[in-house]
Chain A
């Protein structure tokens, strides 16, 4: 398993895909944090914390990152080499989930540090105390958890739906059309969606009728487990070209 995990990390490091996703995330977060800090006049500690929180933005990007990573194996045919060396497909899928979860943590922490550095500098002139170290640590930790689960979720979706275009388009449609509609119209159901659970987990993104933080984390984890199990079960019956 450690060998497989190491292989996945080598794969992540040796193409420009991860770097590209990191740059897109960074650009987006810097833009949003700058705009919110300058235009929203955050005047309480809570406002300031919410202004610099970055994981809510990049969680979705990390889902797509996971989808692209997992479907890329099929798109480029590299999955064949993997299964030749490791015929146990459960282990192969699990190691990818873990590697992407680790990458998600790294993304979340690094980008949160940048977001906090920019945001706190910009809002320093506003009234109200800046969030304390404990606040920042909690925010970063929860963000890292959300991002780890999101990246793993993407891998599970990509392992289940092997076609890259279908998986990316499907995931985006699911998240932005289906889930947004549910959260808006039927919040009691919507809070159990991926977006609903992620929002519940992150302090800055609370939705109406949201779940508790613990429940949000567990629901998100359940999504990962159910989709991974579905992918592994489907793989048993599926051939690899």
Chain B
């Protein structure tokens, strides 16, 4: 499958500040891509350029091969939710969506359909947005993004301001939308929010690409070490060292490098040592993310 979104050599300067520096990445069609980076890494600026809201200093960003402002049917191609996109506090959520329906030449009934999709009931839809909670606003943002039934969704920090229930709801909704075959690009500064949903990740820091690829790549690959707990460690340590293991001895447990778990299990069996625990220690996604992005949060 081709790329739904392609960013090539994108640079954006605000005066002397370089917000995005020669950034290139692509978003696979039909996949959920997490767009990760610490706050201030340039995620929102990148998305604004992709969506034609801001101009690039150099480089280009295309959606389905075209710059955003040349799309034939923007609302039917891309649905976006950006934090900066707001609502008039005195207008109801439903009326906000109806105005957008008129703009996109969609039937007015579509406003009620998307309100149902994001679980905002009739009463909530009829209320003025000024009285909405953060979670309701995020739902309304998503509803607006879904109006044109787009193939591509671009969501900027959709989990911001959501309570744990809301985050679970968002995760399930995103999964559902991805199952329908949509391409989803979702940005976040909190890795765990997207790790469970994303197929791919694009990681940026200080406006530059740090890593791009399947989400498993971030999980650190091979186990870094094996942790062993056993009743009697002395004989086991000697046996493991004899077979080439690099053993770090701790109070009641061992950290073993250079040997995998089956080899350690076999050695313990040969020594007649009862194992209490045997598990692989991997760098967590969070660790890898923090290392990649320079430890900034």
Contact = CB atoms under 8 A, between A and B. Distances in A.
Contact of B99 (A14, A72, A237): A14
A156 B98 CA distance: 25
B71 interface: yes
Interface string A86-111: 11100000000000000000000000
Given A15-B88, A78-B86, A80-B53, A87 B74 contact: yes
B84 A80 contact: yes
A85 B102 CA distance: 10
Given A11-B91, A77-B86, A82 B103 contact: yes
A85 B104 contact: yes
B110 to A, nearest CB: 13
B291 to A, nearest CB: 32
A85 B100 contact: yes
B51 interface: yes
Nearest to A15: B90
Interface string A62-88: 000000000010001110111111111
B56 to A, nearest CB: 10
Contacts of A85: 74-75, 100, 103-104, 148
A78 B102 contact: no
Binding site secondary structure of chain A:
helix
Contacts of B105: 3
Contacts of B54: 239-240
Contacts of A87: 52, 68-69, 71, 74
A14 B104 CA distance: 18
Given A14-B95, A77-B84, A241-B84, A84 B102 contact: no
B80 interface: yes
A7 interface: yes
Contacts of B95: 10, 14
Interface string B80-114: 10101111111110011011111111000000000
A80 B90 contact: no
A169 to B, nearest CB: 21
B245 interface: no
Contacts of B69: 87-88
B91 A15 contact: yes
A239 B53 contact: yes
A130 B261 CA distance: 105
Interface in A9-30: 10-11, 14-17
B75 A84 contact: yes
Contact of A11 (B71, B74, B99, B148): B99
Interface string B46-81: 001001111100000000000011010011001010
A14 B92 contact: yes
Nearest to A83: B53
A86 B73 CA distance: 9
B69 to A, nearest CB: 4
Which residue among A16, A72, A84 has the maximum number of chain B CB atoms within 10 Å of its CB?
A84
Contacts of A3: 102-105
A202 B8 CA distance: 57
A142 to B, nearest CB: 32
Contacts of B80: 84
A229 interface: no
B72 to A, nearest CB: 11
Contacts of A6: 102
Contacts of A86: 74, 103
Most buried by A among B78, B87, B90: B90
A76 B99 contact: no
A87 B55 CA distance: 12
Given A84-B80, A85-B74, A4 B87 contact: no
Nearest to B101: A7
Nearest to B85: A80
Contacts of A88: 69
Interface of B: 48, 51-55, 68-69, 71, 74-75, 78, 80, 82, 84-92, 95-96, 98-105, 144, 148
Closest 10 CB pairs of A and B: A77-B86, A239-B54, A80-B85, A87-B69, A7-B102, A14-B95, A7-B103, A6-B102, A241-B84, A15-B90
Given A7-B99, A80-B86, A85-B104, 9 more contacts: A14-B95, A14-B98, A80-B53, A81-B85, A83-B52, A85-B75, A239-B53, A239-B54, A239-B55
